[in-house]
Structure 1
Amino acid sequence: MNIPGPEPRTDGGVGAISAAGGLHNYQRWLHAEYGPVVRFQLPGAETVVSVADPVLLEATAHINKRPERLFDFLAPFFEAGNLQVLPVDEHTPLRRLLLSVLAGRPSHERHFARFTAMATALADRWAEQADREPVALQKDLTALTLRMICEYALGGEAPDPDGVVAAFEEVLTEYLGRLYEVAAPDAGEDRSERAARALAHLRSTVDLIVSAHGSADGTDKSGTDKSDLIGALVEAGEGPARIRDTVMMSLLAAHHTTGVAVSWTLHLLGSHPEAAERVADELERELGDRAAPGYRDLRRLTYLDMVLKESMRLYPPGPYGARETTETVTLGDYEIPAGATVFYPFWAVHMNPDHWPEPEKFRPERFTPEEVAKRPRLAYIPFGLGPRSCEGAALAMVEAELVLAVLLKRFRFVPVPGHEVVPIERFVLWAADDIRMTVSPRT
């Protein structure tokens, strides 16, 4: 059976995506118009099939290959090969190593106190401007989460943390500018040269930290453990270039995603004050006079957890993903040939009314254990699915819940009147003119 979809266009689909206001919006329109399985055009890919039905997605969950052309823009970022499209035999052991660190409780506990100090410092700064000028949530929170992931990935050992953060922002601006063809005011050779210098600075910083752990041939000099990302890479015998690449990928993947997840959550709570008060009541009940939770407290913040998950359903930080079939895949009545790009429209999956009644509404109670048990496993996929899903998912949830707890224990958030929040896609689901809110102390 032929897969439904719009008629092919001579521009390769660029015009349709642009007219919809971006690929994230185009995906939602496609599935509303043509159903759960859609064929469409995407620059850089030949056969593209998008799947928004969580039951049908199960047939694709084993796929362990990403389409290389769609990730070409990141290739210059890496030295030892584009980590986003590593072949299976290289990717599988690296993923296993990353999960042993990123998903492990020891590494979360090791960095939790520093994460708490960073979140508290932001809250202190916001307290100084409370009730006066609005805060720009995404600007401040992505800066916070970049500092947090630098602390995590570099072990707090970077000689100039602020310089590392500035260098990474320089690199990220250049590479995302290439992807979205956004011209900076100083676009041109100067910007490219600055980005190249910043990238070299980041790599040399990682080299200094690696040398402190031991030689990159696996000879460990510091008794590293599995809570230390660089130490684990050194211990596994990874070469210097692969270690640098892996640290850079961790910064890239974790920087914007956690910050925007927290931003969208505060945005939704600002327009749902009853939910915000319920979170505050839970924090008061569980934390008492303490301004921040301990690591073990997070498991008791069940309503905060539901609020964050519902926010990531409505505004998934990464709005989509992609895989490439290596054999024919059957999806219901359709057959997807080998070599096709299978598109995962996370936002459209999360808005599928068959599994999310009144999907546009903010309802944290959708994530009670009883409600979760009623839905297909892949109805909620903010961190992707299968063997290429996000290795840092558990770490991201710890960071996000900690930051939310610190901020919501201390402040009320009120939307700025007249400020329109428009989701756009800039590698993550961003807000076009940030999310501006007024903060006021709870006490």
Structure 2
Amino acid sequence: MEIPGPEPEADDGAGAIARAGGLHTYQLWLHAEYGPVVRFRLPGAETAVSIADPVLLEAVVHLDERPRRLFSFLDPLFEADNLQVLPAAEHDPWRRLLLTVLAGRPSYERHFDLFAALAAELADRWAALPAGRPVELQRELARTSLRMICGYALGGEVEDPDGVVEAFEAVLTDQLERLYPAPAGQGRERRTERAERAERAARALALLRETVDRVVAAHGAGAGAGGGPGERSDLIAALVAAGESPARIRDTVLTVMLAAHHTTGVAVSWTLHLLAAHPEAAARVTEELDRVLGERPVPDHADLPRLPYLGMVLRESLRRYPPGPYGARLTAEPLAVGEYLVPAGAVVLLPILAVHLNPVYWPEPERFRPERFTPEESAGRPRLAWIPFGLGPRGCEGAGLATLEARVLLAVLLKRLRFRPEPGHRVVPVERFVLWAADDIRMRVSPRAARGTPR
């Protein structure tokens, strides 16, 4: 059976994507119009197929190649090769090495105090703000997340974390504009705007490379020959021990910095945004925190399993606003997906946001309701109905770490502080590699008048 979809456009769909506000929102429209499996044109891909049904996604979960064109906006960040599109034979050992560092309960427990201290430092700073001064959640939380990953995997602090966060955004914004250009403007003003953006991106890229070089050099000066196979809490030591080239080491450090600060910072900021709009859920979270922690302002690692509602809130937030709104794979041979046949060489889109808003598996999908993740409601739901960190062999290596960091940040911040939306500030999700807010998420923050609140 022929896969349904819109008629091809002369620009391979670039205009439709731009008009929709990004590929993630274009996918929402496609599936609303044509059903769970849609065929359409994508710049750089003659055939693209998007699959929004979690049962049908089982047919593609094994795919282990990514389309290079779709991830080309990341090319400038890398010296050796774009790590997001490594061939499977090269990607598998690199992925296993990352998992030795970024996954594992003993490693998380060793670094838990670091995460809690950085979260408490952020809470202290916000609690001391003058009344009425808004906080830009995404910028501040991205900075803290960057400091967490640098302390956890890279062995220390990074100079000017605010500058690093801004530099990543400058480079990615420039490259995404090139990949999916907005409808062309006219005259000198449009050309000047593009030139200025490219110049900012060049300066930002230089800053990022200098930062990574300092991180790598500091490790070499402080760690000597690096760690052995039994001591892999430091990413650089593990890469050195594995015999990776200097260029691959620098590329990996940059990748981890990019992914980690985006994922955790974005997830926590959207969660606080949703809780501020749903005071009954926020009250239930704080009641749970007060009951479990008592007068302690920060949790211990052993406390986290005793905070189930906090975990459900985070999962529901990741459903509504997954940090990565889509993924992509490449077929090497024809592939049966339900009643359809996806041809060899097709780009398979994993429309994570559309999957998470599929009303068949998520009734009233736009509604924020953490109770969806109780054991009773979760029973029988397809395993791929919730995929905020992707799926299969290209799923996020740092998913467990990002979740832990997010839970620690939320526990500390919500135990100490109250969050209210900034009056008049409009929060608009946009695609910037992750699901970002166009003008940040501004909140008014104040100390909680509750048991255990430090004075």
Q: TM-score band, normalised by the shorter chain?
A: over 0.9
Determine if contact 1:213/1:222 at 8 Å carries over to the other structure.
no
TM-superposition CA deviations, 1:109-168 (whole Å, max 9, x none): 222222222111111111122632121111211121122122223111x5xx22466346
**Which residue of the partner structure matches residue 336 of structure 1?**
342
Using the TM superposition, give the Cα deviation of residue 221 of structure 1 relative to its aligned residue in structure 2, in angstroms. 6.3
**Which residue of the partner structure matches residue 171 of structure 2?**
174
**Which residue of the partner structure matches residue 425 of structure 1?**
431
Using the TM superposition, give the Cα deviation of residue 273 of structure 1 relative to its aligned residue in structure 2, in angstroms. 0.6
**Which residue of the partner structure matches residue 216 of structure 2?**
206
TM-score (norm 2): 0.91
How many residue pairs end up in the alignment? 436
Determine if contact 1:266/1:413 at 8 Å carries over to the other structure.
yes
Matches of 2:234 and 2:399, distance apart in 1: 17
190 and 70 in structure 1: CA distance in 2 versus 1, 3 angstrom threshold:
closer
Matches of 2:91 and 2:124, distance apart in 1: 42
Using the TM superposition, give the Cα deviation of residue 180 of structure 1 relative to its aligned residue in structure 2, in angstroms. 2.4
Counterpart amino acid of 1:30? L
Determine if contact 1:180/1:426 at 8 Å carries over to the other structure.
no
Matches of 1:352 and 1:196, distance apart in 2: 42
Determine if contact 1:214/1:234 at 8 Å carries over to the other structure.
no
Matches of 1:197 and 1:263, distance apart in 2: 26
How many percent of aligned residue pairs carry the same amino acid? Answer: 62
1:182-331 residue pairs with structure 2 within 5 A? 186-189=196-199, 191-193=201-203, 195-210=205-220, 212-215=222-225, 220=226, 225-331=231-337
SS in 1 for 2:139: helix
Matches of 2:257 and 2:194, distance apart in 1: 22
Counterpart amino acid of 1:228? D
Matches of 2:149 and 2:263, distance apart in 1: 11
* 2:38 corresponds to 1:41: no
SS in 2 for 1:374: coil
Counterpart amino acid of 1:112? F
187 and 36 in structure 1: CA distance in 2 versus 1, 3 angstrom threshold:
closer
Counterpart amino acid of 1:68? R
Matches of 1:405 and 1:86, distance apart in 2: 37
Using the TM superposition, give the Cα deviation of residue 223 of structure 1 relative to its aligned residue in structure 2, in angstroms. 8.2
Matches of 1:383 and 1:191, distance apart in 2: 27
Determine if contact 2:142/2:261 at 8 Å carries over to the other structure.
yes
SS in 2 for 1:227: coil
Matches of 2:127 and 2:318, distance apart in 1: 27
184 and 403 in structure 1: CA distance in 2 versus 1, 3 angstrom threshold:
farther
Matches of 2:21 and 2:153, distance apart in 1: 35
Superposition misfits of 4+ residues, deviation over 3 angstroms? 181-191, 210-215, 220-224
Q: Mind listing any 5+ residue stretches in structure 1 that lack a counterpart?
A: none
Matches of 1:354 and 1:128, distance apart in 2: 46
Using the TM superposition, give the Cα deviation of residue 187 of structure 1 relative to its aligned residue in structure 2, in angstroms. 3.4
Determine if contact 2:276/2:421 at 8 Å carries over to the other structure.
yes
TM-score (norm 1): 0.93
33 and 63 in structure 1: CA distance in 2 versus 1, 3 angstrom threshold:
same
Q: RMSD of aligned C-alpha atoms?
A: 2.0
Matches of 2:229 and 2:394, distance apart in 1: 30
Using the TM superposition, give the Cα deviation of residue 186 of structure 1 relative to its aligned residue in structure 2, in angstroms. 4.6
319 and 261 in structure 1: CA distance in 2 versus 1, 3 angstrom threshold:
same
Using the TM superposition, give the Cα deviation of residue 74 of structure 1 relative to its aligned residue in structure 2, in angstroms. 1.7
Matches of 1:222 and 1:34, distance apart in 2: 53
